[in-house]
Each structure stands twice: as C-alpha cells, then as structure tokens.
Structure 1
Amino acid sequence: MVVAMAAGMLVLHPAWTLAIAGTAPTSVLRSVEVDTIVMATAMSVPMVAWMRYRGHGWAPAWEMSLAMYAGFIVLYPLHWAGVVNDAAVMSYGHVLMLGFMLLAMLLRRHEYTTAHHDHHRTSLEKIRDPASTRLSS
C-alpha cells in the first residue's frame, strides 16, 4: 500500500502543482489545507486501486483513505492557531497518516493478516462460483 501511495504522491501531486502554477501565491488553491487534501487524494487513489486489486473490500479501502486525510485534518486547528506552520502540517501530517493507517489495520486485524488470493479472479468468475474461496497454487 505504501508503494502505491508513494507512486501517487510522486506522479499525481506534481500534476496538481503544474495545474496551479499560474495562480497567485495568495490563492486559496495554494493554501496548506487544499494542498494537503490534494496530497491525500493523490495518495489514496492508487492505494484504493491496489487494495481492491488485492481483494480487500470497499469498507477497509475507505477507512484507509479516511486515515490518510485524518493525518492532515487533525493538524488544521493547530495551523489556524499559529502553533504549526505550513511545512509542519505537510510533514507531520504524513507521519500521523501512518499512525492512523496502523490504527485502521489494528481495528480490522483479520483483514490485514490473511491472504487475499481472490485478486486473480474476475468479478464474473466470483459471481459464478461465490462459494469458492481458494485458487489452486
């Protein structure tokens, strides 16, 4: 999941930076709040795709995405109060994100400690044979 997140951060977030290149430095599009939400989105999209490919359900994928946003959002009040600056929100938010993701994994231990072999089967195959939970090796 972390590799997918990093890929999104390295590919999608620079696209956002290019998209807002012509905006004024004081534009809301350049605020730390918008930047961190875009960052979390850029990381969540490939992570959810990878989780779904690996056979995880939608609920764990959304919870993991929420954990990524939460890492930043919990810092906004501190930023607004002047306790942390923009750079701190971005860097500490990434650290907190991992902590929230760990919490999400601990709350669904079974989801993250068992093999998900179903990712090789198409949706149509799963519908035709819903009782089968294993693939031959």
Structure 2
Amino acid sequence: MTKTRFALHYAEMVVAMFVGMVALAPLWPSLEAYPAAEAMAMTVNMSVGMGAWMLVRKHSWPHIAEMCAAMAAPFLVLLIPYGLNLISGDTLMLAGHLLMFPAMLVPMLRHRF
C-alpha cells in the first residue's frame, strides 16, 4: 500500500467516524452534564460509523473490532484519572479525542504490512 493510499484510507476512517458521531448524536440527548457517559456515547457513535464503513470496504470483523477497541482505549484509560478527579470532563473529552487518532494508527500500521 502506497503512502498516499494509506493516508486516504486513514482520512476515510476519520470521515466515517465524524459521520457516525453526528448522525447518531441525537440518540444520546443531554449527556453534557455527564462527561464519562458522553465520552462513551461519542465513542460508540464514532465506532458504529467507522465500523459500517469498514464493512463497506470489506474488512473482516476481527479488524473492525480491533479498530473499535483502539478508538475506545484512550477514553477508557482516561476514565481513571477523571474518576479520581485528577482531570476535568473537558480534559477527558479533549485528550480522548486527540489520543484516538494515533491509537487508530496502531492497528492500521500493523495490518499494512
């Protein structure tokens, strides 16, 4: 896989995540007061969007599950300091989203070769 094709594939995944996040957000009204629940709901929304696109692109179920786990991992790890009141809800959301992008690269690079 060329670098350009890899980058386009990564961009497709990010777009699919955002589509899932926006399309499914109405299912979870009024979670702003509960950052941990909001983070998990948003992760589910993004995973559904990305998983659906991966199915369209003929990825296997194990690869889809691995990518969804990679996306959720940063949020799950950050729930610990959030639960201990070491970070705020805003930090949970920002850091979780920022860490999700490099976390997604791990399974993508693993399956690239």
Q: Same fold (TM over 0.5)?
A: yes
Q: Give, in whole Å, the separation in 2 of the partners of 1:80 and 1:64.
A: 25
Q: Secondary structure at the match of 2:28?
A: helix
Q: Answer 1 or 2: which has greater helix percent.
A: 2
Of structures 1 and 2, the one scoring higher in RCO (CA 8 A, sep 6+) is 2
Counterpart of 1:10, as a letter, is: V
Counterpart of 1:7, as a letter, is: V
Within a 5 Å distance, the mapping from 1:31-110 to structure 2 comes to 31-110=34-113
What are the superposed Cα offsets for residues 66-96 of structure 1, whole Å, 9 maximum, x if unpaired?
1111121111111122221001101110111
Q: Give, in whole Å, the separation in 2 of the partners of 1:104 and 1:13.
A: 26
Q: Given that residues 18 and 49 in structure 2 are in contact (C-alpha distance below 8 angstroms), is that contact kept between their aligned partners in structure 1? A: no
Unmatched runs of 5 consecutive residues or more in structure 2: 1-12
Detail structure 1 runs of 4+ shifted over 6 Å in the superposition: none
Q: Give, in whole Å, the separation in 2 of the partners of 1:104 and 1:83.
A: 29
Among 8, 15, 21, which residue is 2:20 paired with? 8
Query: What's the Cα RMSD here?
Result: 1.8
The count of aligned residue pairs is 101
In structure 2, the partner of 1:120 is: none
Q: Secondary structure at the match of 1:36?
A: helix
TM-score (norm 1): 0.67
Larger of the two Rg values belongs to structure: 1
Unmatched runs of 5 consecutive residues or more in structure 1: 111-137
Counterpart of 2:14, as a letter, is: V
Q: Secondary structure at the match of 1:3?
A: helix
> Identity percentage over the alignment?
39
